[in-house]
Amino acid sequence: MDASGRSSSSRRLWCAAAALAIAGAAGCVDERDPITGTTSFRVVLVSPDDPGTEDDRLADEARDITVQLTALDAQGEPDPSFSGSVQLYVHYLGGLTPELGTEPLDRIDVEAGVSDEIELQLPGVFGPTYLWVEDGRGSSPTFATGVSPTIWYRDPFLADVSRPDDEASLDALERSPLEFKQIRVSRSRYGADGRMVVTGIYSQGYTLSDVSCAEGGAPPCTTGDYDSVFVFSFNRPLGEGTGPIEIGDVIEVLTGGMSEFNGLTEVNFPESFVAEGQRDADRVPEPTVIQPEWLGTRIEMERAEASVVAIEGATVCELDGDYDMYSQWKLDIGSGCGDAVNVITQGQVNDFSPADYVGQVLPRVVGTLRPVNIGSFDVWIIYPRTAEDVSLP
């Protein structure tokens, strides 16, 4: 059905419904005053002239914009009766910054229904972005709202998702810059030779790394700081319409909500779109070998979070209550069992019993790295993926 056909058909439906409603409601008439006052704001983007498109995004540094507001009444006409200060927020990645109801990003004065042309600088934003203005404060807010045309910035890379705003800040290990945002990661930060490669599969999720490969994305590949993330799928991870995700799969698009779960940066409620026919486990990068001093500063561990790491020549500690409760056993990597790296093999490497190796040196243990930070319980855990990840003496 074409648009006009759909329209006339729908009008007939609506008229029939309305007639029935009127007939059925005989005797009940609710007379109301007309709606008056400011209903919305028109937000005109004065600059940039070109806000970009989905296929042609603005540069990261193009953050200076100019806007002008006009208050509109219930008939859609300019409303000169409105004067006041309205609040400005920015909407990107599925939510407002700052959160609605908190101190806004800025305020814009509107006099007799119109503002001046206001210059603003946006914070770091990603994807399709809108300015949101509202009259939601004061003694008698109208809750009139307006939204700018779309301003197109690039989608975030995995590193944008994982890297803290300031590595030196106290909460660098517990917060991520896009927490509570709905991300869409659609390409590698390494360009045409980069890929987003699945490096580990677990019962409730998988690890994904942005890797730089040889020409055309061929292996071998390497990865950098903050290039990895854990995707929490709750169930065995599945690609959208492509079945179980496996190590070596290339993810073309990943969407999901960002959260920090006990220090682990997670993509929740994900949708993973797998590139068909591109599975190649050789693209999984060589593990990063953890150094004993990293446990002291910890930021190096954070940089490697969710990536494939290795521990070499470490001693299996006595099993303790953490093993009974959480199946976590410990490796002394040179700083004693009191400052050990934890390992969980249960569920992935079931035939390995750490009790058989207490006090012995394991040549190499490989797996993906996750933190668990609950107050004083602050540990790093390696999750081997298969029996091959645990080299026995």
Is residue 9 involved in binding another protein (CB under 8 A)?
yes
Q: DSSP string of 86-149?
A: EEEEEEETTEEES-TTS--SEEEEEETTEEPPEEEE--S--SEEEEEEE---SSS----EEEPP
Is residue 41 involved in binding another protein (CB under 8 A)?
yes
Is residue 138 involved in binding another protein (CB under 8 A)?
no
Rank residues 240 and 293 by Cβ distance to another protein and give the closer one: 240
Is residue 84 involved in binding another protein (CB under 8 A)?
no
Rank residues 326 and 334 by Cβ distance to another protein and give the closer one: 326
Is residue 143 involved in binding another protein (CB under 8 A)?
yes
SS3 for 325? helix
Q: Total residues at the site for another protein (CB under 8 A)?
A: 83
162 Cβ contact list (under 8 Å, min separation 6): 176, 226, 227, 228, 229, 265, 305, 306
* Nearest distance, CB of residue 310 and another protein, angstroms: 21
Tokens of 365: 């243990």
- Exposure pattern of 43-58 as b/e (b: 16+ CB <10 Å)? bebeeeeebbeeeebb
Instruction: Indicate which single residue of 130, 190, 230, 383 sits in contact with another protein (rule: CB under 8 A).
Output: 130
Region 318-377 residues binding another protein, contact defined as CB under 8 A: 325-327, 346-348, 350, 353, 374
Region 160-199 residues binding another protein, contact defined as CB under 8 A: 180-182
Is residue 100 involved in binding another protein (CB under 8 A)?
yes
For 14, counting Cβ atoms within 10 Å of its Cβ (0-12 exposed, 13-18 middle, 19+ buried), the class is exposed
The one segment of 32-40, 166-174, 278-286, 292-300 that binds another protein by CB under 8 A: 32-40
* Nearest distance, CB of residue 255 and another protein, angstroms: 8
CA atoms within 13 A on the CB side of 284: 22
Is residue 276 involved in binding another protein (CB under 8 A)?
no
Angular region, 295: left φ>0, alpha ψ -120 to 50, beta rest: alpha
Rank residues 114 and 299 by Cβ distance to another protein and give the closer one: 114
* Nearest distance, CB of residue 222 and another protein, angstroms: 29
